[in-house]
Chain A
Amino acid sequence: MSAVEFELLVAAVLLVLGPVAVFLRRMSWVSSFIYASSGGLCALIASVGAARLVARTGDSGLTLPLGLPWIGSHFQFDALTAFFLVILGIGGAVVSLYGIGYGRHEHDPMRVLAFYPSFLGAMTLVLLAADAFTFLLSWEVMSLLSWALVLTHHQETNTRTAGYVYLVMAGFGTMALLLAFGLLAGSDGHYAFDTMRGAVRSPTLAAVILGLMLLGAGSKAGLVPLHVWLPLAHPAAPSHVSALMSAVMTKVAIYGFIRVVFDLLGPSAWWASPVVILMGALTAVFGILLAMMERDLKRALAYSTIENIGVIFAALGLAMAFRANGLTAAAALAFTAALFHVFNHMVFKSLLFMGAGSVLTATGTRDLDQLGGLIHRMPITSFLVLVGAVAISALPPLNGFASEWLMFQAVLMSPAIPQDALQLMIPAAGGLLALAAALAAAAFVRIYGIGFLGRARSPAAQTAVDVDRFSLMAMGTMAVLCVLAGILPGMVIDAISPVAKAVLGGQLPLQTHEAWFMIVPIAEGRSSYSGMLVLLFIAVSASGAAWAVHRFASHRLRRAPAWDCGFPDPTPATQYSAGGFAQPLRRVLGTNILGAREVVVMPEPGDPSPARLTVTVDDPIWHNIYSPMGAVVIYVATKMNGLQFLTIRRYLSLVFLLLIALLVGLMLWA
């Protein structure tokens, strides 16, 4: 059995598992059974994909007589597909493990179970599809199933709004993809990827396809300004589904972008790449600024997903810029950085969302201002979330640093590009990315500091207890992956190199034979990094410091009330609040970019009521693009409402006039 047949079989079983769950709904073990089997199947998917990347097993393809007549359904299994199957497999397996524990708290488990495995199966099919029809069909099934999962808690108004916005945006994205594939197929209708790959296209047509892909894949991934649905829909789903959507489904969108833009379109004109780079960099800054302002834990994580998607797209844009100029090694560097970050983001974002889910289970709230002090009540969860927060903040020696470091190495290669415009723009974009990285660190200091440190701000947080062992095991696995990918980045880079080789024709030099687990992307004299050495240094210096503190200070420890600024009021509300922590950045950056406003209402003299400070932060994209667009749609729809109540004759007249207009147009044009 070839790899593609095996993966297809697993995908089919996953797709069927959803309906099976409905049949088994009376059984007490259905939840554990569905999650455990989904997890096992995902592990199979990942292992076959990993075999392709590490053991270099061959590619395979398959055509099934399904779908469109005379065309059939084409499937493929190559290095790019294999890499993303690994992402999907690992994410799916670990999140399903988490689901075994988390799913028990679900109020109405069938609302998740009926769609969850099929959602995984549909994503697998997107990755395996090798013709436009199969791809779009699987894509749409994936969108619809995730929409159904978002609506799990449909009793809440916010969730219904989120579902509606998501459905509209998903429809829009699929329409853009449909048009892109239409242009790719050309007038002859070559729907198979193999025939699209060989076609010759004008640069303008290629740029239009690229633009449509940015709209289609970008709206699913969450590129600004197409991101508005993401912070609504991702947090609305149950936490393990949020983890899947944020960590895996956005990666499937990135796969679609890479498959079309890098694989099917081939090298694009150099002037196409700045658009992607700038969109990516702006998305990164914008996303993390919004994450910084957000009080809701899961929404903040969703905004952080937008930031990471921006980083990945910026790296992909860099790869396009290098590739357009034939700088294959540099293109491979940027491309590897992008895929490495895809892997890393899958790991730490699922870890963080699972952590948020555990907090939600333990305290019943996602509001940062209701949390606090969880590190005492939920020590294991808190530690694991800390690992994820450190990793996503791109601090060495964890994995986030390795991929962002690689990306900045690619940014530093920009002087090799001949075009002045790119030479000027790429360092500027690099600056934006550095800003985003710094803001990400600040945002996660805020999330962790407010949510997990300090004293509990609500009775719920005060009585929280650590979650079940399945959840902890799942989060632990991801935390271990964060550390492993951080100290052994060479192994990940080597696993990505067949993908870069297949897509770009170039790859980074082999890393695993370097001493001290060093990674050397270009040359030894230029730059190198070893996560292992950093870890050793941190371990040695921290142990030394700990020993010194213990040796000289531990016996002088005494327990006393915390210093309370002279006010004997021990209420936890005197701690930093989430809004208070964000205030400096909100005033510096938020006022202009996000339209943040602070309104202070002072009571009249003699009025004993408290003063009030109201802070509003808006997403300007929503107000400047989506609200006017919605208003226009409503206006036009209202105006056209009268068209529903015409007589047959008037309808016929409309059709007749349109026909005449078309014929006249044809006459003038022909």
Chain B
Amino acid sequence: MGTLAFDIAHLLAGGLLLVSFMMIYQDRMFALLHVFAFHAVVLSLSVAWQAYNQGAPHLYVTAAIALVFKAAIIPIALRRIVKQLGVHREVETVVGVGVTMLAGIGLSALSIVLMLRVTAHADAFAREDLAFALSVVLLGLLMMVTRRNAVSQVVGFMSLENGLILAAAGAKGMPLVVEISVAFSVLIAFIVIGVFLFRIRERFDSVDVTAIDDYREVHR
């Protein structure tokens, strides 16, 4: 990998991490969704760049999936859900944003120190890439843990998954990347549905959709 190619890949991976931090900082729901879409765009750029560099055309598929589903369909769908269900437009956090940001910085430091130490013999780019990817994963988890709102938990989970795809795309010759990304997308769909069902059940003591309709009838 040439110096320029390396630098660009590095930039994109670092950019993904930066966008993760932006997501942690957001406290408005629609802004969060916008940042998440941006996150997915950066990811798809990064994966496409890897595809170009490694000469691995199947990675373009992964990039396309990221772009179409995560940058477009899912944010739009989530936006509709938020609007229709009348969810609060503000993200309820457990601890303050500042503390979360500090914790995120700590996690990034942890993952970089750990990865550089564990993968001492690996190729230089793979090390950096894995360190970034692990940071993104941990930030995603952090977001899931520190937000009370279901939508932002789902967003956290999806950004976590972006980190996984970044790691898979960066490791040269890793088999089944496309399949894994597809499988994860399906999994996310289930998580989204699952979390909402769970929330609905918590609120209405039932997953029966008519319960929601009844609720709307009463409160009209």
Contact = CB atoms under 8 A, between A and B. Distances in A.
B118 A656 contact: no
A651 B122 CA distance: 35
A664 B198 contact: no
A649 B144 contact: yes
A656 B113 contact: no
Interface in B60-119: 94, 107, 110-111, 113-114, 117-118
B195 A648 contact: yes
A656 B142 contact: yes
A653 B138 CA distance: 12
B209 interface: no
Nearest to B107: A660
Nearest to B110: A663
A670 B141 contact: no
A166 B145 CA distance: 43
Given A648-B195, A649-B153, A656 B114 contact: no
B148 interface: yes
Contacts of B110: 660, 663-664, 667
Give chain A's interface residue range (CB within 8 Å of chain B): 10 to 19
A96 B142 CA distance: 64
Interface SS majority for chain A = helix
B198 A670 contact: no
Nearest to A657: B145
A589 interface: no
A666 interface: yes
Interface SS majority for chain B = helix
Nearest to A659: B141
Given A663-B114, A667-B113, A649 B107 contact: no
A652 B154 CA distance: 12
B111 A663 contact: yes
A656 B148 contact: no
Contacts of A670: 114, 117-118
Contacts of A648: 153, 195, 198
Contacts of B198: 648
Interface string A105-120: 0000000000000000
B62 to A, nearest CB: 25
Contacts of B142: 656
A170 B7 CA distance: 59
A644 to B, nearest CB: 15
A645 to B, nearest CB: 12
Nearest to A651: B145
B163 to A, nearest CB: 13
Contacts of B145: 649, 652-653, 656
Interface in A636-670: 648-649, 652-653, 655-656, 659-660, 663-664, 666-667, 670
B141 A666 contact: no
Contacts of A656: 141-142, 144-145
Contacts of A653: 145
Contacts of A666: 114, 118
A652 B118 contact: no
Contacts of A659: 138, 141
A652 B114 contact: no
A652 B111 CA distance: 19
Nearest to A664: B110
B144 A652 contact: yes
A649 B150 CA distance: 9
A667 B144 CA distance: 24
Contacts of B111: 663
B3 to A, nearest CB: 29
A667 B117 contact: yes
B176 to A, nearest CB: 19
A666 B114 CA distance: 7
Nearest to B134: A663
Contacts of B144: 649, 652, 656
Interface in B139-162: 141-142, 144-145, 147-148, 153
A652 B141 CA distance: 8
Contacts of B118: 666-667, 670
Contacts of B94: 649
Nearest to B147: A649
Nearest to B148: A649
A132 to B, nearest CB: 29
A660 B111 CA distance: 10
A77 B147 CA distance: 63
Give the one of B94, B113, B144 with max A CB within 10 A.
B144
B8 to A, nearest CB: 29
A657 to B, nearest CB: 9
Contacts of A649: 94, 144-145, 147-148, 153
A153 B49 CA distance: 71
A317 to B, nearest CB: 45
Nearest to A666: B114
A653 to B, nearest CB: 5
A668 to B, nearest CB: 10
Interface string B189-202: 00000010010000
A648 B117 CA distance: 33
A666 B111 CA distance: 11
Contacts of B113: 667
A670 B118 CA distance: 6
B110 to A, nearest CB: 6
Nearest to B137: A659
Interface string A169-213: 000000000000000000000000000000000000000000000
A655 B138 CA distance: 11
Contacts of B107: 660
B203 to A, nearest CB: 13
A664 B142 CA distance: 16
Nearest to B199: A648
Nearest to B103: A660
Nearest to B120: A670
A656 B156 CA distance: 13
A667 B141 contact: no
Interface string A482-496: 000000000000000
B114 A667 contact: yes
A660 to B, nearest CB: 7
B127 to A, nearest CB: 13
A663 B141 CA distance: 14
A656 B137 CA distance: 11
Contacts of A667: 110, 113-114, 117-118
Nearest to A653: B145
A664 B153 CA distance: 25
Contacts of B148: 649
Nearest to B156: A652
27 contacts: A648-B153, A648-B195, A648-B198, A649-B94, A649-B144, A649-B145, A649-B153, A652-B141, A652-B144, A652-B145, A652-B153, A653-B145, A656-B144, A659-B138, A660-B107, A660-B110, A660-B138, A663-B110, A664-B110, A666-B118, A667-B110, A667-B113, A667-B114, A667-B118, A670-B114, A670-B117, A670-B118
Interface of B: 94, 107, 110-111, 113-114, 117-118, 138, 141-142, 144-145, 147-148, 153, 195, 198
Interface of A: 648-649, 652-653, 655-656, 659-660, 663-664, 666-667, 670
Given A656-B142, A663-B111, 16 more contacts: A648-B195, A649-B148, A649-B153, A652-B145, A653-B145, A655-B141, A656-B141, A656-B144, A660-B107, A660-B138, A663-B110, A666-B114, A667-B114, A667-B117, A667-B118, A670-B114
Shortest Cβ-Cβ A-B pairs, 7 listed: A667-B114, A653-B145, A656-B141, A656-B145, A670-B118, A652-B145, A652-B144
